[in-house]
Amino acid sequence: MPLSVVLLMSNSPSHKDGLDSALEFTKFVITLDSGLIAFLTGATFLASLGGRWEIISTLVSLTFLVASIVAGLFVYMRVATKLGAAEYDLSDPSLAVPGMINVMCFAFGAVGVAALAVISLVLSNPKTDKPVPQPICLVVIVDAGSARQTAAPTPVPCRI
């Protein structure tokens, strides 16, 4: 093939579509990272952590997720630069290496969050130090023959 045909093929729209797909996938992974970080730092999940190993595991998972977001931002910036220069090479090391870090750190962080959720929320014993509230019924006795109420309502514990 002549060199002009090869150069024309390397800048074809299909390669640009590949770069656009990489950009969309990176945005998707960054969104998932953010959601998992929000879950890990939520008050309900943090309150369920009991042991030291759970706290350390949470910090390790957070580290992986933050590293994934940072790598994703590097991918995002590199894709924007390549699109602006009309270069559609997906094998560029400054794009491929942060992309691999982005995906691998997300995978490790997501597995860590899933393991923590299973162990902390499903398999651990519920905390019994909180009292269980008892329902209270309000009994009002009104005399049908009288136009006024004779006694103030008294709360009475219900028997269910």
Cα angle 82, 83, 89; round to 5: 50
Answer whether residue 158 is part of any domain. Answer: no
Question: Is the pLDDT assigned to residue 7 strictly greater than 50?
Answer: no
Report the domain count for the chain. 1
Answer whether residue 26 is part of any domain. Answer: yes
What integer is the mean pLDDT of 138-144?
A: 56
**121 is in which domain, residue-wise?**
3-129
What residues contact 23, with CB distance under 8 A and at least 6 apart? Answer: 75, 76, 79, 80, 83
Give the pLDDT confidence score for residue 64 in this predicted structure.
Answer: 94
List the structure tokens of 34: 């953010």
Answer whether residue 155 is part of any domain. Answer: no
Give the pLDDT confidence score for residue 5 in this predicted structure.
Answer: 34
Helix (H) or strand (E) holding 108: helix 93-117
Q: How many whole angstroms separate alpha carbon 102 and alpha carbon 94?
A: 13
